[in-house]
């Protein structure tokens, strides 16, 4: 059976996270926190807020009205998906039993015809499929994803069968010569592709393709924002998807849609989709993305505004949107085989995405500004809790972004200590990474298992990296080929062979495009993939919180700070201590206080030249 | 007896190179080449060109006319000075015997009254002390320096006694209520201070002080350039030295004079001198210095022109002027105790200065452009051979720039593997550096010998370094004091204690001040202290020799290349190989061809922001 990693028009094949053992300190800590805290917290919240009992009520297993918001079912699905990923990493009988119970309720809540959305079943049965913005498709998509993941993790197909029944219902209602349908909140598109890959049923991806093609022709019905005067662009329903030139509207919807488009392009080879994705990618990455990989500056539409409008204190940057950037850019990387997309995966992964969760794993940001007056804090839950449950399913799947393959090529996209089992034409290979990344740019790659054979190993040289060194064994490499941001080593490899890649990692000053008015005269600090910020708790004692041309940075590994981070101390050669900075992802884990990513820079023309 | 390192108004005391054992690969190779090749070559050339026989002729030990240029004696003195330094590093009976023979000739050539300049003795005895630009004082200065060095190296004071006799002659002729004298080519000022330090005779430094004060009052006589219309500024005789605001005229004369002024300031405490030096330092470093530490763009006056006039292909940048920058900035560092001067010492040391000599040690640049059409090459000798002989005396003394002390403080100014014997109030300490500098920014400093005691260790954080890490033993240092560019560790140290300093070393893009028109749209590459250049021999195969915003750099240690260097390969993420660069100091050691330091940079606005 085909997997998402092996769609015909993807240049690279992804390597699922189940083939990647993460044995580092950075991600292991995040995964443990997700397993031990995030998932438990999300389950408890789903319980307490009626999200789970809504299923029981729909199944007539208990009495009562629908509780909460109409799309709340999706949160339960997303936690289930996270549980499935977690079980693939580490079996947990109790967690699995809890999931089984919830799945029983979900399946019991499904109606005879396959319909499943507890809000409509309980509150407005007469209004099913009438308003395209009531997230019936969105919830279905998340249900498909959870069902597939749970089947893959446990072999149990109860939820998957229910998913197929729901998908078939949708397929029976909508499509060519049936009803029009334009998903108000995209998500089902990529989920239908997964369902195709899981079941082999071609009609699922074709339905997804049709749904994407439905957009931009005025078929959308019931969109509240259209009534309110915002226009169809809010939901990317203003132009046909193949005519997209720039990012508009709600950021998470856009991300899920682009991810779905990339999947469909990978199956169909539709060049119109590829061209549209390339255009909108450039528009987002060059003109509408924060340094954190965050997108969507506006609280108003939870999304995009105008090019270069990237305010810091009011930055919306929904956690789900950053994770959406990972989902989409991962697929773009597979589609084009170009490391520039993996660069964005890295940026969003290490910054905008994981900032969404506390180090303890049980508090969450929905909104991720780049500057705070001290009043913005993570909380245990939201009425609209898409972000916490997104974290629950995202972090355990992180290993899926590490490798890709292509015929007889291994592609190393991310640097994470651990081992990857990689299938090449030349045979199966186990490749081990030894690295302290993201704290240190030195990476040793060792061929551990597999027959000796000739194949290529491509290493992403991250866009943040300005200079690097590469060696195979003791031999320094001068003449390696570079292609699309990967440096490529082709030779006959055998177990024991070692590659050393040293990415010089220094505290870099990053400047904004001059049209980003919010950052005029400002600089941000980045070290390796990590964007840094200043928090008040570290800096109350310093008088001056800016950067000059002469400022230099002392990096200090502080094992007791924020579960162990490299802190950055800024100092003047004169002796003035300017400030201490910490990785952005770790902010708001101590006392409340101000935070800033972009810092004023005092320019001194006389220092510009050699000094 | 006071040494130059211990003048009362120097903030730091220098540590002479005799207390510093260099055991690295970089400088050791240069010192060996100087000992085995440069000195021998210079001696042979002095022999062949009549420079040595001019002394024999003056002493009536052989017949014949004066040969060469009127100031050629100075070259012999400078080689002798180099021999003395070399002997201090490593005894060499043959070399010492050769030196003794030459010294015998010199002393024999000295006239009864102490006068010594073979040109006047042989060719124009009637014209002694008539033209202030005939370098009688300049040659005397170099003779003093050689004599002092040779006495220190061998204990033999024959040349020193002759030097004292010559100095006394000069002191008898010139001074308050005697004749005016304005040295046309400064040098004697700093040499007289050395003579004071060697002999304890106060009148030598007072003569030096008087000579500096003579300048800028119209006392100069015979300057050919004044007759030719260039004005007294050529020789820095246009304003009194304490009124200097900017660099003018011949660069080497300026450097020697500023060095002498710094010495006099260090003795006298004359604030007018200090203020003048500070002004002219800023003017030179910010507006009149090349990235190589070279100065003096113009062949016309061998010196300074207008601020920001720094052409590359026609850059004059005399080797002696770069070495002069080392001499002067070393004294500025001692005077002010500020690392920004040691930064310039480093820049000039590793780039503009040692570019003056071939790796083989026997070919020399007088002129050091930053761009060549392939016709500029080192040659074995020049009619005016100040630069080869400058190299001969400069390189063996390099250890003198590594350390300084101040009471109970050790100052580490340069990073060179080896050991320093340092006298503190707390006692004598041996400090060992283990490092691969300048190829690698990791430096381990180990307290090797000495009683346990409380003292401070100050480490220069080079201006090129943007971020660094510091640890004492296993303990990372977050809160070290920084002062004047030094990070300071104060504690009770004992033998075995280790400091680790990791200066992150990456290939940096350096941009010129926008007013430097020659570098508009261009970028230079620097890694650690080393400026890089492109040579044709490495780059004929590449189509495009420029840099884009996306260009990244692969560093490769190539042991067979240019006696072992880290080469820099520039490549685009797309795969285009742009060029290969080598350290500037090592250019023109292979096939003739074009060379460039400043490379065109293709700007791409869309890449400016995060990518």
The answer to whether residues B321 and B296 touch, using CB atoms and an 8 Å cutoff, is yes
Q: Do the chains contact at B466 and A511, CB–CB below 8 Å?
A: no
CA A169/CA A203 separation, integer angstroms: 12
* Relative orientation angle of helices B51-58 and B39-48, to the nearest 10 degrees: 50
Average pLDDT over residues B150-164: 98
Cβ distance A554 to B470 less than 8 Å, yes or no, reads yes
Annotated catalytic residue A302: yes
* Burial of B172 from C-beta contacts in 10 A (0-12 / 13-18 / 19+): exposed
pLDDT at B274 over 60: yes
Chain A residues with CB-CB distance to B556 below 8 A: 469, 476-478
Q: Which positions ≥6 away from B382 have C-beta within 8 Å?
A: B364, B366, B388
Q: At what angle do helices A93-109 and A73-89 cross, to 10 degrees?
A: 150
CA distance A525 to A547: 10
pLDDT at B200 over 80: yes
Name the residue among A403, A402, A413, A425 with its Cα closest to residue A486.
A413
Contact B575 A484 (CB under 8 A): yes
- pLDDT, tens only, B312-358: 999 999 999 999 999 999 999 999 999 999 999 999 999 999 999 99
Nearest CA in chain B to A507: B467
- Nearest residue of A to residue B512, measured between CA atoms: A609
pLDDT reading at B52 higher than 50: yes
Q: Which two tokens stand for residue B169?
A: 């002659």
Residue A591, classed as helix, strand or coil, is coil
Chain B nearest-CA residue for A459:
B573
Angle between the A136-154 and A188-199 helix axes, to the nearest 10 degrees? 30
B512–A609: do the CB atoms touch at under 8 Å? yes
Task: Give the DSSP letter of residue A284.
Answer: H
Mutate to test the interface with A, among B463, B467, B605 (most CBs of A within 10 A): B467
Q: What is the pLDDT of residue B473?
A: 97
> What are the chain A neighbours of B513 within 8 Å (beta carbons)?
605, 608-609
Mean pLDDT of chain B: 95
Q: Do A575 and B513 touch (CB under 8 A)?
A: no
Helix (H, G, I), strand (E, B) or coil at A51: helix
Is the Cβ pair B552, A467 closer than 8 Å?
A: yes
DSSP state at residue B303: B
Q: Which of A554, A559, A575, A607 to mutate to test the interface with B (most CBs of B within 10 A)?
A: A554
Helix (H) and strand (E) counts for chain B? 17, 23
Residue B554 and residue A468: Cβ atoms within 8 Å? yes
The residues of B annotated with a catalytic role in the active site are 302, 386
Minimal-distance CA residue of chain A relative to B515: A609
Q: A-chain residues within 8 Å CB-CB of B480? A: 554
Q: Phi and psi of A570, rounded to 5°?
A: -95, 135
Q: What is the pLDDT of residues A245-266, one digit of tens each?
A: 999 999 999 999 999 999 999 9
Contact A554 B611 (CB under 8 A): no
**Residue A210: predicted pLDDT:** 98
Res A549: pLDDT: 86
Residue in A386, A387, A465, A533 annotated catalytic: A386
In this prediction, residue B603 has a pLDDT band, given cuts at 50, 70 and 90, of confident
Distance from CA of B166 to the nearest CA of A (A): 42
> Is the Cβ–Cβ distance between A585 and A354 less than 8 Å?
yes
B469 interaction partners in chain A (CB closer than 8 Å) = 554-556
pLDDT (0 to 100) of residue A532: 98
Phi, psi of B170 (to 5 degrees): -65, -40
CA dist B445 and B413 (Å) reads: 13
Sign of CA dihedral B14, B18, B24, B29: positive
Tell me how far apart the alpha carbons of residues B45 and B386 are, in angstroms, rounded to a whole number: 12
Tokens encoding B567: 């080469």
User: How many pairs of residues across A and B have Cβ atoms under 8 Å apart?
Assistant: 161
How many Å is the maximal CA-CA distance in chain B?
77
Residues in A closer than 8 angstroms to B571, CB to CB, are 482
What count of Cα atoms within 13 Å lies in the side-chain half-sphere of residue B157? Answer: 6
Beta bridge partners, A554, equal A569, B468
Question: What residue of B is the nearest CA neighbor of A527?
Answer: B467
| Candidate from B347, B573, B610 with C-beta closest to A484 | B573
**HEC readout, B186-224:** CCHHHHHHHHHHHHCCHHHHHHHHHHHHHCCCCCCCCCH
Phi (first) and psi of residue B470, to 5 degrees:
-140, 135
> Contact at 8 Å (CB) between B264 and B273?
yes
Mean pLDDT, residues B219-235: 88
Residues of chain A positioned with their CB less than 8 A from the CB of B510: 610
The dihedrals phi and psi of B133, each to the nearest 5 degrees, come to -105, 25
Q: Is A471 helix (H, G, I), strand (E, B) or coil?
A: strand
Which residues in chain A have their CB less than 8 angstroms from residue B605's CB?
Answer: 513
Percentage of chain B surpassing pLDDT 90? 90
Residues of B in contact with A514 (CB under 8 A): 608
Mutate one of B560, B610, B611 to test the A interface: name it (highest A CB count within 10 A): B610
Q: Do B504 and A508 count as a contact with CB atoms less than 8 A apart?
A: no
Q: What percent of chain B has pLDDT over 70?
A: 98
Nearest-neighbour CA in chain B from A511: distance (Å):
6
Residue A455: beta bridge partners? A491
Q: Can you point out the beta strands (E) in A35-127?
A: none
- Enter the tokens of residue A260: 């779905």
Q: Which residue of A has its CA nearest to B465?
A: A552
- Nearest CB partner across the interface for B574, out of A484, A487, A553: A484
Q: Which residue of B has its CA nearest to A288?
A: B609
The residues pairing with A568 across neighbouring beta strands, listed in sequence order, are: A555, A581
ipTM: 0.90
Encoding tokens for residue A391? 């974290």
Residues with Cβ within 8 Å of A598's Cβ and at least 6 positions away in sequence, in order, are A312, A370, A371, A512, A518, A519, A522, A523, A524
Q: What are the pLDDT digits (tens) for B92-137?
A: 999 999 999 999 999 999 999 999 999 999 999 999 999 999 999 9
CA distance A308 to chain B (A): 11
Q: What is the 8-class DSSP label of residue B311? A: -
Angle, CA B247 vertex, CA B245 and CA B253 arms, to 5°: 125
Q: What are the tens digits of pLDDT across the range B488-522?
A: 999 999 999 999 999 999 999 999 999 999 999 99
- Max intra-chain CA distance, chain A: 77
Catalytic residue among A302, A318, A346, A535: A302
A chain contacts of residue B468, beta-carbon cutoff 8 Å: 552-555
Residue contact B610–A347, C-beta within 8 A: yes
Q: Quick count: other Cβ atoms within 10 Å of Cβ B190?
A: 27
Chosen from A571, A610, A611 to mutate, greatest number of chain B CBs within 10 A: A610
What pTM, to 2 d.p., does this model score? 0.93
| Torsion region of A42: left, alpha or beta (phi above 0 gives left; psi -120 to 50 gives alpha) | alpha
Q: Would you say residue B197 has pLDDT above 50?
A: yes
Question: For residues B193 and B211, what is the distance between their CA atoms, to the nearest angstrom?
Answer: 12
Partner residue opposite A512 with nearest CB, options B514, B554, B609: B609
Token digits of residue B192:
């007289």
Nearest chain B residue (CA) to A337: B574
Contact state of B505 with A505 under an 8 Å Cβ cutoff? no
Residues of B in contact with A278 (CB under 8 A): none
Cβ burial, residue A486 (10 Å; 0-12/13-18/19+)? buried
Chain centre to alpha carbon of residue B228: 31
Q: How far is Cα of residue A370 from the mean position of the Cα atoms in its chain?
A: 18
Kindly give the parts of chain A with pLDDT less than 50.
1-2, 607-611
Which of B554, B562, B603 has the most A C-beta neighbours within 10 Å, making it the best mutation to test the interface with A? B554
């Amino acid at each position: 059976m085909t997997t998402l990693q092996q769609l015909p028009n993807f240049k690279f094949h992804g390597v699922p996270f189940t083939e990647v053992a993460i044995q580092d300190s950075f991600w292991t800590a995040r995964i443990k926190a997700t397993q031990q805290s995030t998932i438990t917290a999300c389950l408890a919240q789903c319980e307490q807020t009626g999200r789970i009992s809504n299923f029981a009520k729909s199944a007539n297993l208990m009495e009562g009205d629908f509780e909460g918001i109409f799309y709340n079912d999706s949160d339960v699905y997303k936690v289930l998906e996270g549980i499935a990923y977690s079980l693939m990493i580490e079996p947990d009988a109790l967690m699995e039993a809890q999931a089984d119970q919830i799945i029983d309720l979900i399946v019991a809540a499904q109606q005879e015809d396959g319909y499943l959305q507890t809000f409509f079943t309980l509150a407005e049965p007469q209004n099913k499929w009438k308003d395209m913005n009531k997230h019936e498709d969105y919830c279905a998509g998340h249900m498909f994803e959870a069902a597939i993941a749970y089947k893959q993790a446990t072999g149990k197909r109860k939820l998957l069968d229910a998913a197929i029944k729901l998908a078939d219902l949708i397929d029976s209602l909508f499509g060519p010569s049936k009803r029009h349908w334009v998903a108000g909140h995209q998500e089902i598109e990529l989920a239908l592709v997964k369902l195709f890959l899981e079941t082999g049923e071609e009609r699922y991806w074709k339905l997804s393709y049709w749904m994407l093609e439905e957009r931009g022709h005025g078929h959308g019905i019931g969109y509240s924002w259209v009534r309110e005067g915002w226009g169809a662009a809010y939901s990317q329903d203003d132009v046909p998807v193949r005519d997209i030139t720039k990012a508009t509207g709600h950021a998470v919807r856009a991300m899920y849609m682009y991810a779905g488009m990339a999947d469909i392009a990978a199956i169909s080879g539709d060049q119109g989709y590829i061209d549209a994705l390339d255009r909108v990618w450039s528009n987002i990455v060059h003109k509408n993305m924060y340094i954190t990989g965050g997108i969507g500056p506006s609280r108003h539409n939870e999304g995009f505004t105008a090019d270069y409008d990237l305010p810091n204190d009011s930055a919306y940057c929904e956690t789900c949107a950053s994770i959406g950037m990972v989902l989409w850019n991962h697929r773009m990387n597979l589609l084009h085989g170009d490391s520039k997309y993996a660069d964005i995966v890295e940026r969003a992964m290490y910054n905008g995405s994981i900032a969404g969760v506390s180090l303890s794993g049980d508090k969450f940001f929905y909104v991720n500004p780049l500057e705070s007056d001290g009043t913005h804090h993570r909380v245990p839950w939201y009425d609209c809790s898409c972000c916490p449950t997104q974290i629950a399913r995202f972090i355990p799947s992180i290993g899926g972004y590490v490798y890709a393959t292509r015929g007889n090529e291994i592609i190393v996209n991310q640097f994470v200590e651990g081992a990857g089992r990689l299938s090449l034409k030349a045979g199966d290979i186990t490749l081990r990474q030894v690295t302290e990344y993201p704290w240190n740019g030195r990476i040793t790659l060792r061929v551990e298992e597999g027959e000796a054979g000739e194949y290529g190993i491509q290493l992403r040289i991250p866009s943040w990296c300005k200079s690097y060194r590469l060696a195979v064994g003791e031999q320094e490499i001068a003449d390696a080929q570079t292609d699309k941001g990967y440096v490529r080593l082709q030779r006959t490899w055998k177990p024991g062979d070692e590659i050393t890649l040293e990415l010089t990692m220094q505290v870099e000053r990053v400047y904004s495009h001059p049209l980003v008015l919010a950052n005029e005269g400002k600089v941000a600090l980045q070290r390796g993939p990590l964007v840094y910020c200043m928090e008040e708790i570290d800096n109350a004692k310093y008088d001056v919180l800016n950067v000059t041309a002469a400022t230099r940075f002392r990096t200090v590994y502080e094992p007791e700070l924020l579960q162990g981070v490299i802190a950055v101390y800024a100092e003047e050669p004169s002796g003035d201590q300017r400030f201490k900075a910490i990785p952005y992802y770790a902010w708001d884990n101590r006392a409340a206080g101000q935070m800033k990513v972009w810092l004023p820079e005092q320019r001194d023309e006389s220092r510009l030249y050699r000094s």
